[in-house]
Structure 1
Amino acid sequence: MILDRPNLARTLGVEVPQRVDSVCGVTHDSRAVEPGFAFVAIPGFKRDGTAFAADALGRGASLIVAERPVPGAPTAVVPDARGALAALAREVFGDPSSKLEVYGVTGTNGKTTTSYVLHSVLAGACGGGTCGLMSTAETIVAGERRPSVRTTPEATEVQGTLAEMLRAGVGRVVMEVSSHGVALRRVTGTRFAGALFTNLTRDHLDLHGSMEEYFAAKRELFLWTEGPKLANAEDAWGRRLASEVDGVLTFGGTAGADYRVEGVETAAGGTRFSLRYPEGILDLESPLLGPYNVLNVAGAAGLALATGVESGAVATAVRGMGQVPGRFERVVAAGERGFEVIVDYAHTDVGLEAVLRVARGVSEGSVICVYGAAGDRDGAKRPAMGRVASLFADRGIVTTDDAYTEDPGKIAGEVAAGADPSRTEVELDRRAAIRRALLAARPGDVVVVAGKGHETVQHLPWGDVPFHDAKVVEELLAEMGPNGR
């Protein structure tokens, strides 16, 4: 959609240089500029976007949007470049969320699983071709699947993907909304028809600085949302959210929850429970294991019911849903050897504890855990990861996660510092660490490979390398042969 000069000025809220008649697109990446685009110079964490203004102009940009004048360039000076990027993206793509029902899922842990359950329910009730998903693991547009780069992409990709979904006949979209997505204005201006909060535990404090600021970013989604809003009553931050924002209903096993979980029991290969809600009681059977997945399913089912999905359709969709990529994902090939291998995205101490507790419940022998911690992130959680692994696994192998620019050995040392030395070893090569765990596994054991889940790239100081935990497990099992060696 072409924005003429008056609409540009209205959208940005500032004067636009007289020589600029219109823009036909917008980007923050100078390499993606096309003739007639607006280039938004974002002050980055490492480099200021104005350094790329000349490149953008050389590629045909007609307008530079920045927080300070760019000499020799037609510049619209704005107080907040990220906010300007979001506003321009929404207008250039025709404000797609105003014609869609977008449901936002936020929280520290459980966002992806909850999003998958909700998407499965909506797709089952309304037709797969009419439902879209934007998640950490993948994006689904009218049944077409493709990998995602990050949980909540930049505003141009958010609005562009929503516009693509709209053109494809999608009417309902489930979107994971990260705290980065809110704080960095990636979803600003998106209209949300519903929202769900899973929980809040220590994470991303390198960006937010404090748990209060982290919570404030999550809460912002609920202040924007016009439709049903649900929060986890078993989480203190969820209860606080319900008390601070009008119209937030609760789910969980606590007394007084609006969508109350009752009668949880483990079924063959899954979990059964009842969900008591204002209109009745719904019996649910899910293939997902663990108390935290009961909450993920309950929240998604509750939000679907609150939006008007018929209860029978909810139950059918939950019963028939498949594995969630990288979330307690069972590697089938391991079953032939009598032990289980679980791949999971758990990358916080709370997430790792939850996964290991479920693994302990499934195991008939030992639990072996391969894990690590990311670099260039909040380092305080590293020893906590080691402590949790020692408490809930019989053997822990500390390895390299996404080290980014940090020394993998330094990170591993900080993780191992919180672990029991008698139950812990360090193997920095991730493939070798996984192989060591598989060689140690015996019938009845459960091997948990934690930290990267669905991801297919490992970010290391010397460069990115392809790495997908589930695929590596399958390759190693094949290499080991039928005798397991």
Structure 2
Amino acid sequence: MILNRSELEELLQTRLPPGVEGISGVTHDSRAAGPGDAFVAVSGFKRDGAEFAPEAVRRGAVLVVAERELTGLPVVVVRDAREALARLAAAVCGHPSHRIPVYGITGTNGKTTTSYALHAVFSGAGPCGLLSTAEIIVGRERRPALRTTPEAPEVQSALDGMLRAGMERVVMEVSSHGVELKRVAHTRFAGALFTNLSRDHLDLHPTMEHYYRAKRRLLEWAEGPKLSNADDEWGLRLAGEVEGVLTFGRTPRADYRIEGVEDGGAGMRFRLRHPEGVLELESPLLGDYNVSNVAGAAALALAAGIPEETVVRAVREMPQIPGRFERIGCGQDFEVVVDYAHTDVGLAAVLEVARALAGRSGGRVICVFGAAGERDKAKRPKMGAVSTRLADWSVVTTDDAYSEDPGEIARQVAAGAAPGRYEVILDRLEAIRRALRLARRGDVVVVAGKGHERVQHLPEGDVPFHDASAIRALLRQDGEVEVARRSG
């Protein structure tokens, strides 16, 4: 919608430059600027958006919103450009979150799985959109996501699109970056859930306390049901600090209590005791941590008024989640799993499930993983320690190195690894090939870190890379070689 001059001045709480009568769009990306747009110059981690304001104006932007004066441009100065970006984006899109219930999911681990589980349950009651780390889903349309929580214009545009497409609810993953950088500011949340907290993103947040407070803010904003994981110390603390928060977990004091967990081989079974009764749930997702994820989603859905039978059916029938303990099958006699685990806690959870899976057939666990560059360096040796403790063999490789030296990152990971239980192969494709060729009948190969992602960020530039696709190609390639050998 078009915002006129008086509306803009009210939103920005300042006078506009002469000649600016209104805007029809807003962006922070000068390359996306067009006629009638406002360009908001936000400071990035490496560059100041004000540098790109002239380009935005050349492309047709009629207003620049910045935190300082810029000579020769139609500029309005604000105290907080990110706040202004979020405010303008919500207004230009007509405040879609005021017209469609949005449910936010936050936490260090389990956000995507919980979001998919909640989306599956809500979809059983009516059309539901999903904004996740892995993809954006609107009805039957699916497209890859660029980041966990996109910038404010993309968030508001996606919500508006979902509203126009007839979605009745939206599930959104909300990262601490999304909160701290105001990407979800001016979004109304109908409900929210906190999964857990462990060391991550300390490149953005100076301490764990700051990280926790960013996560907590989502539940403070939520206007409807709020759920927190009582089995997590941070989750239990949050429940005591934010009014109206209900809890889920195995602890007897949880409002939504997990009981009778059983590993059925092909999935997990458990009971969820809640204020109105007991649900018998069966999920195709493996692992105790996924019991917690599914239970949280079921609890939030029940608190939002979804009927019990809808919850039970949706949990039983929910599909595999891209890059979250995603099992890749090409006829091989061993398991291959792709997972997004990129912290020591997440990696431990995945490898424990892999151990249980391998234990049924007396197999081994082989793990391929790395650590991201330009991120919290303290978790690198911890990941090396976890992998060599829980896997029989580890292949340390390159994740998203960004501008860092992949070899140096690998050395820091290996500093925590147990001697004689790992090797280093920096080329990710060759590392995966090595793991697949080491695997025997009954083994489980875990390829961790990248999950659903389709690009690898390297010092020399971005390159296309998708773990699941690479694995399928290698398995088919080796399978064809094996068939040829047998035929010969």
* Bin for the TM-score computed over the shorter chain: over 0.9
Residue 378, structure 1, aligned to residue 376, structure 2: yes
* Contact 2:115 2:172 survives alignment (8 Å): yes
Residue 317, structure 1, aligned to residue 320, structure 2: no
Counterpart for residue 276 of structure 1: 273
Amino acid at match of 1:70: L
Alpha-carbon offset, residue 34 of structure 1: 0.8
TM (normalized to structure 1)?
0.98
Question: Quick one: which of 136, 139, 142 aligns to 2:136?
Answer: 139
Q: Secondary structure at the match of 2:451?
A: coil
Alpha-carbon offset, residue 72 of structure 1: 1.4
Alpha-carbon offset, residue 209 of structure 1: 1.0
Alpha-carbon offset, residue 17 of structure 1: 1.6
Q: Secondary structure at the match of 1:238?
A: helix
Equivalenced residues, count: 480
Residue 73, structure 1, aligned to residue 73, structure 2: yes
Amino acid at match of 1:155: A
Separation in structure 2 between the aligned mates of residue 193 and residue 227 of structure 1, nearest angstrom: 5
Question: Quick one: which of 395, 400, 425 aligns to 1:397?
Answer: 395
Q: Secondary structure at the match of 1:230?
A: strand
* Contact 1:132 1:143 survives alignment (8 Å): no
Structure 1 residues 438-484: Cα deviation after superposition (integer angstroms, max 9, x where no partner): 11101111000000000111111111111111111111111112539
* Contact 1:453 1:469 survives alignment (8 Å): yes
Higher alpha-carbon deviation: 474-483 or 132-141 = 474-483
Question: Quick one: which of 160, 167, 172 aligns to 2:169?
Answer: 172
Separation in structure 1 between the aligned mates of residue 57 and residue 269 of structure 2, nearest angstrom: 59
Amino acid at match of 2:226: K
Separation in structure 2 between the aligned mates of residue 217 and residue 10 of structure 1, nearest angstrom: 28
Separation in structure 1 between the aligned mates of residue 101 and residue 238 of structure 2, nearest angstrom: 22
Q: Secondary structure at the match of 1:231?
A: strand
Separation in structure 2 between the aligned mates of residue 434 and residue 268 of structure 1, nearest angstrom: 26
Amino acid at match of 1:474: R
* Contact 2:332 2:475 survives alignment (8 Å): no
Counterpart for residue 242 of structure 1: 239
Counterpart for residue 48 of structure 2: 48
Identity %: 66
Q: Secondary structure at the match of 1:136?
A: coil
* Contact 1:65 1:77 survives alignment (8 Å): yes
| Counterparts of residues 294-305 of structure 1 (less than 5 Å) | 294-305=291-302
* Contact 2:263 2:269 survives alignment (8 Å): yes
Residue 440, structure 1, aligned to residue 454, structure 2: no
Structure 2 unaligned segments of length 5 or more: list them.
Answer: none
Q: Secondary structure at the match of 2:125?
A: helix
| Counterparts of residues 188-207 of structure 1 (less than 5 Å) | 188-207=185-204
Q: Secondary structure at the match of 2:273?
A: strand
Amino acid at match of 1:292: Y
Structure 1 residues 54-109: Cα deviation after superposition (integer angstroms, max 9, x where no partner): 11111111111000111111211100000000000000010000000100000000
Counterpart for residue 341 of structure 1: 336
Separation in structure 1 between the aligned mates of residue 57 and residue 171 of structure 2, nearest angstrom: 36
Amino acid at match of 1:83: E
Separation in structure 2 between the aligned mates of residue 452 and residue 13 of structure 1, nearest angstrom: 43
Structure 1 residues 278-322: Cα deviation after superposition (integer angstroms, max 9, x where no partner): 000000000001010000000000000000000011000000011
RMSD of equivalent CA atoms = 0.9
Residue 222, structure 1, aligned to residue 213, structure 2: no
Structure 1 unaligned segments of length 5 or more: list them.
Answer: none
Alpha-carbon offset, residue 143 of structure 1: 2.0
Alpha-carbon offset, residue 14 of structure 1: 1.9
Q: Secondary structure at the match of 1:251?
A: strand
Separation in structure 1 between the aligned mates of residue 332 and residue 451 of structure 2, nearest angstrom: 22
Separation in structure 1 between the aligned mates of residue 388 and residue 479 of structure 2, nearest angstrom: 30
* Contact 1:26 1:92 survives alignment (8 Å): yes
Structure 1 residues 325-361: Cα deviation after superposition (integer angstroms, max 9, x where no partner): 000000011xx33210010000000000000000000
Q: Secondary structure at the match of 2:50?
A: helix
Residue 61, structure 1, aligned to residue 61, structure 2: yes
Amino acid at match of 1:346: A
Counterpart for residue 350 of structure 2: 355
Amino acid at match of 1:461: P
Amino acid at match of 2:294: V
| Counterparts of residues 118-133 of structure 1 (less than 5 Å) | 118-126=118-126, 130-133=127-130
